[in-house]
Amino acid sequence: MPKVLYEKDGRIGRITLNRPEVLNAIDGDLPHELADCVARANADPSVHVIVLGGAGRAFCAGYDLKAYAEDGGSNDVNQAMPWDPMKDYAFMMRNTDLFMSLWRSHRPVICRIQGSAVAGGSDIALCSDLIVMAETAKIGYMPARVWGCPTTAMWVYRLGAEGAKRMLFTGDTIDGAEAERIGLVHKAVPDADLEQQVEALAERICSVPVNQLMMHKLVINQAIEAMGLRNTQMMATVFDGITRHSPEGMNFKKRAEAIGWKQAVRERDSGSYDWTADRPFDDPA
């Protein structure tokens, strides 16, 4: 079963993350299949716009922590010490580049978010051109608290320095209504209207010639890239590896192995655990 689906629907290319049983969590295959689907849409001259969505209850819950954090031993995102930062960088930068196929796509990409687009899922969503969220959906990068740095670095380019700092210093999630208010996403709509609103936007864009759309996207993107996007992503991806192999990151991994990643994530997100001391804040030891 493909982990990312592609379907052509008239002038719309539809890409759907297809791991609904794990809220479309990212594994080793999903980024490659995503980029392959983007390439298919771009190779079709009759496709004017791409609609990106997630099957089931959520857009994407980020990296599959059951596979990467809960299981013992080394894997692509967690090496035994001493770790090789360039091996880590090669893997994570490959994923960053695959997510960025959305940014580089010659066809505009509309991302439809229901449920949540969090952690690595927010990286994918923020590489899109336009985001339409359900008002109750959640977006954020909770691993900013420990065990992560957003490798695409899109928060600062969408929100500016202060807005990005507010999100990454706290690791908070915000709902669609708040995301629209601060300018992170194009639009937040009632949950029941999400599909209709995305379709209306896609149909409106479809009426513009492909070459016009491509030129406008290239012009706008180069303005962002001239600000140093590639260099920022290089630093962010190196730092992402460091967060997972710092003392605090290793303590998070050990905790996830001991009590399960869901409980470790609850402790991380609630702020109840001191990852430097490797004990709950209320532990007198």
The domain that holds 176 is classified in CATH as 3.90.226.10
Please indicate whether residue 78 or residue 207 has the higher confidence score (pLDDT). 207
Residues 6 or more apart whose CB falls under 8 angstroms from that of 222 comprise: none
Answer yes or no: is 94 within a domain: yes
pLDDT exceeds cutoff 90 at 158:
yes
What's the average model confidence in pLDDT over 47-57? 98
Q: What amino acid occupies position 134? A: A
> Can you give the residue range of the structural domain that contains 200?
4-280
Domain count, the chain: 1
pLDDT band at 209 (very low <50, low <70, confident <90, very high): very high
What's the average model confidence in pLDDT over 77-85? 87
pLDDT exceeds cutoff 80 at 208:
yes
Of 68, 72, 57, nearest to 22 by C-alpha is 57
pLDDT at 275: 98
pLDDT exceeds cutoff 70 at 183:
yes
pLDDT at 279: 96
Answer yes or no: is 285 within a domain: no
Residues 6 or more apart whose CB falls under 8 angstroms from that of 187 comprise: 131, 132, 133, 180, 197, 201
Answer yes or no: is 143 within a domain: yes
pLDDT band at 285 (very low <50, low <70, confident <90, very high): low
> Which CA distances in Å does 79 have to 145, 146, 149, 265?
20, 16, 17, 20
Answer yes or no: is 120 within a domain: yes
> Scanning the structure block, which residue is given the tokens 């079963």?
1
Q: Could you report the per-residue pLDDT of 249-280, keeping only the tens digit for each?
A: 999 999 999 999 999 999 999 999 999 999 99
What's the average model confidence in pLDDT over 145-158? 97
What's the average model confidence in pLDDT over 7-13? 98
Helices and strands in the chain, H and E counts: 12, 11
Distance between CA 20 and CA 4 in Å, rounded?
Answer: 11
Of 25, 5, 2, nearest to 13 by C-alpha is 5
Burial class (CB in 10 A: 0-12, 13-18, 19+), 166: middle
pTM exceeds 0.85, yes or no: yes
Answer yes or no: is 148 within a domain: yes
What's the average model confidence in pLDDT over 165-181? 98
Distance between CA 19 and CA 217 in Å, rounded?
Answer: 30
pLDDT exceeds cutoff 70 at 103:
yes
Residues 109 and 137 sit within 8 Å (Cβ to Cβ)? no
Please give the structure tokens belonging to residue 134: 């359900």
